[in-house]
Amino acid sequence: MKKILFFIILLIFVSCSQEESKDSNKIYSMDEVAVIGIKIKGDFETNFPESTDSKWGFLKGREIAIIRYPTVELALTLGKTVAEEQTELIEVVEKNIAHGPKVERKECRGHAGYGIHGNCSSRREPMYTEYIIYGNLVIMAEPLATEEPEDTLGFLQETADKLP
C-alpha cells in the first residue's frame, strides 16, 4: 500500500513539474501580445532597466501588465526582480501602506480576504499580486475579488498559453 501511495505522489509531482516547465523560450513582440485580447491603456512611469516595453491594460475584467525584454535571459533575471518589486506586499507599519517602495500601481483593498476590495482607509496594496515569466515577457495580474493566489496564477498561465 505504501508503494502505491508513493507512486501516486511521485506521479502527481512529475506531472505538476512538467506543467510548470511549459514556459516558452520564444521572443514575443507587442503585436503578438495584442492578439490575445489585452486592451493596452498605458505605460508604466517607471523605466525598468533594459526592458523594451512596460504596459498595463485590461483583460477579462482585470488589470494586467506586460513588461517585455529583448531576451529570455533578461526576463528571467532583471524581469524577475522587477516582478517581485511590483508585487511586493508588506505588513502595514505606517498608516495603510502595505506595498513595497518600488510598487508603481497600487490598489485599495480591505482586510476581509485576499483580493477583497475595500476603501482606501483599509490598506493600499500592489495592484498586481502574482506574475509569471513567459519567454521574454513578465506578465502580472490583478486578482479578482473572489480569487486565491493560485487562481490568479492559473489565469496568467492560461493567458500566456494563448500567445502565438
3 inside domain: no
Model confidence at 127, pLDDT cuts 50, 70, 90, reads confident
DSSP H or E stretch at residue 32: helix 30-34
Please report whether residue 8 resides in a domain: no
Do the Cβ atoms of 110 and 117 come closer than 8 Å?
yes
In a domain, 2, yes or no: no
User: Residue 7 domain-assigned?
Assistant: no
Q: What's the pTM value of the predicted model, to 2 decimals?
A: 0.76
Q: Where in the sequence is the domain holding 103, given as residue range(s)? A: 25-161
pLDDT in tens, 46-68: 999 999 999 999 999 999 999 99
